[in-house]
Amino acid sequence: MSDSTIQHDHLRKMYSEILMTKMNQNDVLSQLTDEDLQTLHRELTKWFGASPPETVRVRNDLKRILSKLSLDNIPGVD
């Protein structure tokens, strides 16, 4: 591991895998379909170790993703 880029990618991958595991283990998130869970995870992954993203852009992206997810299995109002 002599190249910093490889090291950074390694860190990103490591964090990404941990996050995916935690998302799968989460009681609520595990109710999402695999596809939705991966979409959500992918959305977060793109910001790992990146230059500071603009808040507005992150907000718009997250809102867009949230609107696409199927929340049928997520607990709502009783």
Largest pairwise CA distance in the chain: 55
Tokens of 11: 């860190």
Among 13, 35, 53, 64, binds other proteins (CB under 8 A): 53
44 contributes a contact to other proteins by CB under 8 A: yes
Nearer to other proteins, 14 or 35 (CB): 14
Q: How buried is 19 (Cβ within 10 angstroms: 0-12 exposed, 13-18 middle, 19+ buried)?
A: middle
Asked if 27 touches other proteins (CB under 8 A), the answer is yes
Site residue total, other proteins (CB under 8 A): 44
Residue 11 near other proteins by CB under 8 A: yes
Contact call for residue 58 and other proteins (CB under 8 A): yes
Residues 6+ apart with CB under 8 A from 43: 61, 62, 65
